[in-house]
């Protein structure tokens, strides 16, 4: 299963660059909008599985937004994107979760 998480870009900038440098990040500033990657491997043995399983992020969109991508009225599907300036106040990332 996959999902998208959305959070304030200022939070990502502060976590990546620190309090002193975060104000320098963003469109027309000295640092680009910060991005990140997440990978975690967890055991599924307690859930009936025998192999480790991974959760990971993909398509991280700094200064981006979540957009609808459904093809039919009865479907819910979203994706993320960043405009070329990456100037939105939001950041988002896709997460892939293993089956239980």
pLDDT digits (tens, 9 = 90+) for 58-71: 889 999 999 999 99
Average pLDDT rounded to a whole number, residues 81-92: 92
Nearest of 60, 80, 83 to residue 12 by alpha carbon:
60
pTM score, whole prediction: 0.76
């Amino acid at each position: 299963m996959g999902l998208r998480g959305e959070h304030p870009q200022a939070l990502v900038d502060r976590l990546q660059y620190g309090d002193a440098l975060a104000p320098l990040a963003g469109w027309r500033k000295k640092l680009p909008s910060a991005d990140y990657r997440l990978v975690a491997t967890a055991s599924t043995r307690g859930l009936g599985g025998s192999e480790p399983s991974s959760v990971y992020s993909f398509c991280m969109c700094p200064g981006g937004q979540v957009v609808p991508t459904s093809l039919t009225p009865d479907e819910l599907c979203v994706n993320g994107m960043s405009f070329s300036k990456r100037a939105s106040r939001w950041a988002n990332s896709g997460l892939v979760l293993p089956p239980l």
